[in-house]
């Protein structure tokens, strides 16, 4: 899909023949609009890293603002819509949550920081982006500890979502890995479910104590004290809240992707603690 309908095609080459060949190769896919940019090799490589670093920066920026929003009583979801309506900013990659993962963003941010140091250029902004992201992966655990206490022995938590993002089974740098590790380190038992990433998650998390994998999202709730939503899969957006409330020992959701409206959840008798959703109990 990306190949057939690209936003842009960047070719890094200093060879005129290579440029002509690649223009011919891509010609059928850019007939409506020329999306092909030709530049030198160094600039093309730099562009790839810079694009991912920019998107990672937007995510960490929103995650850092979300921490402040909770303290001052602002709702980061309202803030997101407000600034996203400014055409100079736009709506993409402004969603606060549990941090970014996968193969590209973490790797490319690290690569730029490392390259900068090799050339005696300290990229302080990107270092802060990376540090903010690592801190954000623990935000849900901080909320769990604030609610249940530091000692989680005897507690059972359902976790919905293991892949670093929806529509993939990629567990590389996934926030779920940190969240689960921190919960079990404090003595908790975790019942996890992901629509696609279960086989990969079982491999990546092999040997983790007190971790079981549920056959479906409802089964993960059985016997659990609370639910943690870590990945924003579509099937998690509108669950059976009556069943959820009746199944959880304490009807509490730690919503790491702000899928649910806390005010609506209150009317249903469910405590919903999101990321940056104003002052929370």
CA distance 29 to 233: 31
CA distance 123 to 115: 9
Instruction: List the catalytic residues.
Output: 104
């Amino acid at each position: 899909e990306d190949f057939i309908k690209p936003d842009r095609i960047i070719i890094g080459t200093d060879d005129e023949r290579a440029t002509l060949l690649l223009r011919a190769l891509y010609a059928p896919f850019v007939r409506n609009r020329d999306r092909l940019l030709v530049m030198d090799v160094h600039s093309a490589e730099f562009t790839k890293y810079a694009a991912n670093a920019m998107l990672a920066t937007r995510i960490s920026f929103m995650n850092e603002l979300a921490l402040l929003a909770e303290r001052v009583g602002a709702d980061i979801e309202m803030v997101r819509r407000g600034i996203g309506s400014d055409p100079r900013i736009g709506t993409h990659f402004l969603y606060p949550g549990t941090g970014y993962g996968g193969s590209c963003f973490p790797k490319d941010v690290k690569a730029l920081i490392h390259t900068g140091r090799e050339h005696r250029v300290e990229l302080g902004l990107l270092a802060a982006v990376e540090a903010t992201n690592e801190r954000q992966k623990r935000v849900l655990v901080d909320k769990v500890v604030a609610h249940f206490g530091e000692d989680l022995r005897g507690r059972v938590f359902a976790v919905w979502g293991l892949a670093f993002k929806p529509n993939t089974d990629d567990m590389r740098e996934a926030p779920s890995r940190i969240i689960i590790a921190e919960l079990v380190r404090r003595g908790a038992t975790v019942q996890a479910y992901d629509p696609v990433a279960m086989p990969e998650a079982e491999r990546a998390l092999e040997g983790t104590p007190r971790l079981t994998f549920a056959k479906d999202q409802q089964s993960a709730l059985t016997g659990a004290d609370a639910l943690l939503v870590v990945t924003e899969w579509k099937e998690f957006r509108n669950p059976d809240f009556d069943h959820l409330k009746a199944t959880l020992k304490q009807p509490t959701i730690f919503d790491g992707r702000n899928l649910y409206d806390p005010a609506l959840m209150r009317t249903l008798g469910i405590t919903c603690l999101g990321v940056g959703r104003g002052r929370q109990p």
